[in-house]
């Protein structure tokens, strides 16, 4: 799958331009995949951060 190939290269340190050259994928495809990956990783970091759990527990109505 394209997604897996792009993310494997990106996670091993290749930038978007390297991925485009190595896999011969269209620029928009590579940039979209990397962008979605970064957003997902950032979201998961925010959700699992210890300070986030403290804030949620202080909100009325949250358990």
Q: What whole-number distance in Å separates Cα of residue 31 and Cα of residue 29?
A: 6
| Residue range 13-54, pLDDT digits in tens | 999 999 999 999 999 999 999 999 999 988 788 777 666 555
Distances (CA, A) of 9 to 39, 47, 54: 17, 26, 36
pTM: 0.70
Instruction: Cite the DSSP H helix spans in the chain.
Output: 2-11, 16-23, 27-48, 50-58
């Amino acid at each position: 799958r394209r997604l897996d190939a792009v993310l494997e290269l990106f996670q091993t340190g290749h930038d978007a331009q390297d991925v485009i050259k190595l896999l011969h994928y269209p620029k928009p495809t590579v940039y979209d995949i990397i962008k979605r990956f970064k957003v997902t990783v950032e979201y998961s970091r925010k959700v699992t951060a210890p300070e986030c759990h403290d804030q949620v527990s202080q909100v009325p109505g949250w358990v």
